[in-house]
Amino acid sequence: MSDTNRELMSGVDHAWLRMESPQNHMMIGLVFIFEDKVDLNRLHQIIQTRLINKFDRFSQKIVHENGKDYWQKDPYFSLENHVISTGFPHDGDKHTLQEVASKIISTPLDFDKPLWCVHEIGHYQTGSALVIRIHHCIADGMSLVRLIMSLTDDTADASTELCISKPTGGAGTNHHESLRDLISHPSHMIETALHGLSGAEELAAITLRSGDPETSLQGHLSGHKTAAWADPFPLADVKRIGKKFNATVNDVLMAAATGVLRTHLLRQGEIVTSDKTIHAAVPFNLRPVDSPIDELGNQFGLVLVPLPIGIDNPLTRLKNVKAGMEKLKHSYQAHVFFFLLQLLGKGPSILEQTALDLLSKKASVVMTNVPGPKKPLYLAGAKLAQPLAWVPQSGNIGIGLSILSYNDTVQFGFIADTNLISDASGITELFIQEFHNLETLIDQNTATTTKGI
């Protein structure tokens, strides 16, 4: 076939393709919950107009030839193969939807077709829900969340043809603006990062860092996932805590998540010493901040965020998490990870697998925090009540935590291999409890300070 009809996969995208395993499917999983019933005809039209017609990747499959992988148009592409309608026999509850979503997210995509699928689930409470799977080799999770959000409208009766780019907030910072060209010119990483002292130090720190201490958060993976989510809670409450400690929303939520993992381990009867720290692999956006998604592909790095689970006091824990996050903001760690994935994706498969096994031992969980739209959105005539998203866990990591802001609320989602944690809903309940504990201590601390004055 002519080379004009296909496109060679980039090194980073190829690396994510080869990370696929029976234990960890490299898919971004999304659950969208609507107050109203989604109009299926409009949904099909919107996906065709705003997704398929705009991005070739959603009608292309992967073909392997002469040791290389290419994107190629699927001659038998049909939207009906990718938008599947199911439903509960009666109005399903949250627990039932969580079970269904867990089974869908645990199911691999069909590699003979373009690597995405939307499951429309009718009769969920008063409305409906969508469970979406998209393979990581198409694009990174942060970009795909923003892309799917861009299918929505500001009103219920917007035209199907309308497609307004909706910047949903970026995870990048101005500190990294001068390094954006590393995406388009990966070879510049060698000149900029590895030939520079900071980049070389980061590479050495990553490769020489000892692995996380053994806990029940690690272990043999079954490939079966359990997913759950908490009810939305006000973003203003998070900002109020952050203001007291000059901390970001991300700092506060990371600290609460650290408390969740600590409490879970203690409930499992594990010894958590005061100096015990594990790490979360956190995706870091390398796209220009607030720009629309005009092209796909993976444009992100990873940072290893220390989670001080040994600290008992939630306020001390917050200060510690804040200090660790501040240090990472001024590092080149995300760019070094991006460069490594470029190299590994172009090298032998055995080299990539060996490197991934090594790197995955340096973190116990994957965690994402994606800033979303600040106002309510609509898709196919239905009001979006709650969006949730999980990125895949690679290598030997089997636990994912997800934070997404939307309409001035925070959504917390949790996913885990059932061999590690079988009750995901228990973790989401614990997160709300830990957050309220942090709120209470903040209020008590403020009251004591005020009384002293």
At 416 the pLDDT is 95
Interatomic CA distance for residues 119 and 133, integer angstroms: 9
For residue 192, being part of any structural domain is answered with: no
At 42 the pLDDT is 93
- Taking the model in full, what pTM does it have? 0.83
Cβ–Cβ under 8 Å, residues 218 and 278: no
Interatomic CA distance for residues 431 and 414, integer angstroms: 10
DSSP letters of 256-277?
A: HHHHHHHHHHHHTT----TT--
Interatomic CA distance for residues 34 and 123, integer angstroms: 11
Cβ–Cβ under 8 Å, residues 411 and 405: yes
Consecutive H or E run containing 359:
helix 349-360
For residue 184, being part of any structural domain is answered with: no
Task: Kindly state the DSSP code that residue 18 receives in the 8-state scheme.
Answer: H
Residue entry with tokens 């900002």: 239
For residue 163, being part of any structural domain is answered with: no
Assign 186 to helix, strand or coil. coil
* Same domain flag for 147 and 250: no
For residue 250, being part of any structural domain is answered with: yes
Interatomic CA distance for residues 270 and 127, integer angstroms: 42
The CB density around residue 38, as the number of other CB atoms within 10 Å, is 24
For residue 10, being part of any structural domain is answered with: yes
* Same domain flag for 275 and 132: no
* Same domain flag for 270 and 122: no
Consecutive H or E run containing 403:
strand 399-406
At 349 the pLDDT is 53
For residue 390, being part of any structural domain is answered with: no
Nearest partner of 311 among 259, 375, 388, judged by Cα: 259
Residue ending a domain, choose from 151, 183, 216: 151
CA distances from 18 to 43, 93, 146, 222, 305 (A): 32, 37, 24, 19, 25
CA 400 to chain centre: 8
* Same domain flag for 147 and 209: no
At 217 the pLDDT is 94
Interatomic CA distance for residues 284 and 258, integer angstroms: 19
CATH number at residue 29: 3.30.559.10
Nearest partner of 7 among 81, 71, 84, 98, judged by Cα: 71
Nearest partner of 234 among 369, 406, 438, judged by Cα: 406
Interatomic CA distance for residues 418 and 295, integer angstroms: 35
Strands (E) across 125-188 are located at 127-135
For residue 160, being part of any structural domain is answered with: no
Residue entry with tokens 């010119």: 185
* Same domain flag for 241 and 313: yes
Dihedral, CA of residue 114, residue 339, residue 150 and residue 282, to nearest 10 = 110
At 229 the pLDDT is 96
For the chain, how many structural domains are there in total?
A: 2
Burial of 77 (0-12, 13-18, 19+ CB in 10 A): middle
Interatomic CA distance for residues 280 and 212, integer angstroms: 10
* Same domain flag for 147 and 213: no
Burial of 35 (0-12, 13-18, 19+ CB in 10 A): middle
Cβ–Cβ under 8 Å, residues 34 and 129: yes
For residue 380, being part of any structural domain is answered with: no
Residue entry with tokens 């991934």: 356
Burial of 269 (0-12, 13-18, 19+ CB in 10 A): exposed
The low-confidence residues of the chain, meaning pLDDT below 50, are: 1-2, 162-197, 199, 345, 348, 350-352, 453
Instruction: Please count the residues of the chain.
Output: 453
* Same domain flag for 143 and 243: no
Tokens of 430: 């614990």
* Same domain flag for 118 and 217: no
Assign 127 to helix, strand or coil. strand
Domain that holds residue 131: 6-151
